[in-house]
Amino acid sequence: MARTREFDTGAVVERAVGLFWRKGYAATSIQDLVEATGVGRGSLYAAFGSKDGLYEAALTRYAERSGAANAARLGRDAPIRQVLRDLLVSLVEATTADPWRRGCLITNTATERLPDDPVAARVVGRALDGLAAQVGGALRRAREAGELAPEADVTALADLIVTAVQGLRVQGKAGADRRRLIAVVDLVLDALPICNDHSK
């Protein structure tokens, strides 16, 4: 008869998120994970298969949580420039207020693990595509409402915002201060072909 698992896998994944986010994949050992989660090495392997398996679970959890938070911000009924500015500023503030300057686990994974880790690449790609789709949806609604020029290229603009998100996270992690990053946010938003802007 199989033994009943004696720990909460969800709680283990949450602790692993924090550890991988702070230290990165390579610098996090199995012993680090044992100490952070309070779960023995054998039990971790039984539950997740490997360090890679636990990393995938942690990265997926982080991506899902980030995606839900972004969806809530992008779904607000407000001028599109304000919606996007609030999203970008919230990410700047999360990065610059963090004493560890961890940045974004998705971005960190892209720079540390890709292109050699196909599993991480799949999770990262899904997360970035999801953000582009969320931003694109908000831009499309704004275009339909007459806020954006009818000829606005929603796909290209969404890609611009996603690229800005990643760049802001990297710059923030590297030590750029809030003032510099907010200036970048406003320059990026100036690229929006706004027809009816009441957000400034």
Question: Where do the structural domains in the chain lie, given as residue ranges?
Answer: 63-189
Q: pLDDT tens digits for 39-49?
A: 999 999 999 99
Q: pLDDT tens digits for 120-151?
A: 999 999 999 999 999 999 999 999 999 999 99
Percent of all residues in the chain with a pLDDT value above 70, rounded to a whole number: 95
Tell whether the model's pLDDT for residue 190 goes beyond 60. yes
User: Encoding tokens for residue 78?
Assistant: 């407000």
Distance between CA atoms of 99 and 110, rounded to whole angstroms?
A: 22
Tell whether the model's pLDDT for residue 4 goes beyond 70. no
117 CB-contact burial (10 Å; exposed 0-12 / middle 13-18 / buried 19+): middle
Mean pLDDT of the chain: 94
Q: Where are the alpha helices (DSSP H) in the chain?
A: 9-23, 30-37, 41-48, 51-74, 80-96, 105-113, 118-144, 154-173, 178-189
Give the residue carrying structure tokens 């959890």.
Answer: 61
| Predicted local confidence at residue 6, as pLDDT | 73
User: Encoding tokens for residue 178?
Assistant: 């809030």
Evaluate whether 165 touches 91 at the Cβ level (below 8 Å). yes
Distance between CA atoms of 135 and 85, rounded to whole angstroms?
A: 12
| Predicted local confidence at residue 7, as pLDDT | 82
User: Encoding tokens for residue 49?
Assistant: 């298969």
Tell whether the model's pLDDT for residue 200 goes beyond 50. no
Q: What is the mean pLDDT of residues 104-126?
A: 96
Evaluate whether 70 touches 127 at the Cβ level (below 8 Å). no
Candidates 1.10.357.10, 3.30.1490.20, 3.40.50.1980, 3.40.50.2000; correct CATH number of 63-189?
1.10.357.10
Q: What is the mean pLDDT of residues 8-27?
A: 96
Q: What is the mean pLDDT of residues 5-26?
A: 93
Q: pLDDT tens digits for 51-104?
A: 999 999 999 999 999 999 999 999 999 999 999 999 999 999 999 999 999 999
| Predicted local confidence at residue 159, as pLDDT | 98
Q: What is the mean pLDDT of residues 167-186?
A: 96
